[in-house]
Amino acid sequence: MKKLIKIAVDAMGGDNSPQKIIDGIEYHHQKSKNIIYKIFGDKKLIEPAIFKKKINKDAYEIVHTEQKIMGEDSAFTAAKRGKNTSMWLAIESVKNKDSDIVISAGNTGALLVIAKLNLKMIENIDKPALSGLWPSKKGMSVVLDLGANIECSDKNLIDFSIMGSSLFKSLFPNEKPKVALLNIGSEELKGNEVIKETYQKLNQINNEDFEFKGFIEGSHIMDGEVNVVVADGFSGNVALKTAEGTANFITNELKKSLKSSIFGMIGSLISNRSLKNFKKKLDPRLYNGAILLGLDAPVIKSHGGTDYYGFANSLSVCEKIVKNNLIDKIKNSIN
């Protein structure tokens, strides 16, 4: 018999919650039957939303609280708001081993702070890292850090390499992680002292868990030659926002072009299937779900503006991480 996975869900964070959270749970539940959803939030809003859903009653539990973290709260304000918010209680559920993993579409800064207040760091890891999934020509890549740490030491970047590789193996167990450091050039002499020192040390590490491929420039992240890209939080966040903005620009301009003339509309009808595949490849909902690595329990951040489909994909990430023992993989790889 398969082990039940318990996911603690903050139902009150993000746009259109808790409705989209419940819709996402329903969509995920149709494909995954060995999941218990511990749903934290206002029962008066959650019960009417879940009443008509095709979700088995023994597959969820509602933990009532009327308090929630607001999107405009600073991290400090969110921490002060109290221990009875849906986000805090969901994270506390993982801390107390009542759940295996926690997910929230709420305030990112608040989630990072409250998670760090409640959960211990994995031994020998100094800083947590926020990682995400990016599309590439050859499938999917893990990129980290996406903004949790502006400044990093060479040890931090090495830890990120190990944690990112462990995450990649948890999500894609049949592929070998190939790690590269994000840099301003691929030559060994380029970059600041920290990244050059990290390069030298990773070159000397004989790690069977991943293959070190050296430096990678931002323009080659999506080539698919590497599948774990490591950066400090400043560089990683700039790269992320640039990629998101570029993808939005391309899709919006393409839509305008196809609707601007009769020839464009005819062309879009002729190439309808190719355009659908193109749109799907860039659909951010498929890559929804940032993972906070380094804590002794997994914490997932769903994008606040995503819809039920994006949230359901984040739940799938939760499921894979627990099934494939991400935390144990990191602990076994960190010296």
Q: Walk along the chain (335 residues) and give the pLDDT tens digit of each residue.
A: 567 999 999 999 999 999 999 999 999 999 998 999 999 999 999 999 998 898 999 999 999 999 998 878 787 787 777 789 999 999 999 999 999 999 999 988 899 999 999 999 999 999 999 999 988 888 889 999 998 889 999 999 999 999 999 999 999 999 999 999 999 988 877 888 999 999 999 988 877 789 999 999 988 988 889 999 999 999 988 888 887 787 778 777 766 766 666 655 555 554 556 556 655 666 777 778 799 999 999 999 998 888 999 999 999 999 999 999 999 999 998 86
Distance CA 146, CA 134 (A): 12
Within this chain, do residues 283 and 136 fall inside the same structural domain, yes or no?
Answer: yes
Within this chain, do residues 131 and 98 fall inside the same structural domain, yes or no?
Answer: no
Contacts of 31 (CB under 8 A, 6+ apart): 316
Sign of torsion, CA 97 101 105 109?
positive
Q: Give me the pLDDT at residue 2, please.
A: 65
Contact 28, 51 (CB under 8 A): no
Within this chain, do residues 103 and 230 fall inside the same structural domain, yes or no?
Answer: no
Task: Specify the CATH number for the domain of residue 189.
Answer: 3.40.718.10
Distance CA 53, CA 242 (A): 38
Within this chain, do residues 102 and 142 fall inside the same structural domain, yes or no?
Answer: no
Based on the structure, what is the number of domains in the chain?
2
Within this chain, do residues 277 and 166 fall inside the same structural domain, yes or no?
Answer: yes
Within this chain, do residues 271 and 333 fall inside the same structural domain, yes or no?
Answer: no
Got the DSSP string for 257-301? HHHSSHHHHHHHHHTHHHHHHHHHHT-GGGG--EEEESBSS-EEE
Within this chain, do residues 245 and 164 fall inside the same structural domain, yes or no?
Answer: yes
Contact 99, 185 (CB under 8 A): no
- Chain centroid to Cα 23, Å, comes to 19
Rounded-to-10 torsion of CA 224, 194, 166, 280 = -30
In this prediction the pTM is 0.88
Q: Give me the pLDDT at residue 261, please.
A: 63
- Residue identified by tokens 């008066």 is 44
Within this chain, do residues 237 and 169 fall inside the same structural domain, yes or no?
Answer: yes
Q: Give me the pLDDT at residue 301, please.
A: 94
Name the residue type at position 313: N
Within this chain, do residues 76 and 160 fall inside the same structural domain, yes or no?
Answer: no
Within this chain, do residues 228 and 305 fall inside the same structural domain, yes or no?
Answer: no
Within this chain, do residues 61 and 174 fall inside the same structural domain, yes or no?
Answer: no
Q: Give me the pLDDT at residue 206, please.
A: 73
Among the listed residues 292, 286, 291, 277, the one whose alpha carbon sits nearest the alpha carbon of residue 310: 286
Instruction: Give the distance between the most distant pair of CA atoms in the chain.
Output: 63
Return the bridge partners of 128, or none: none
Within this chain, do residues 311 and 327 fall inside the same structural domain, yes or no?
Answer: yes
Boundaries of domain holding 335? 1-124+294-335
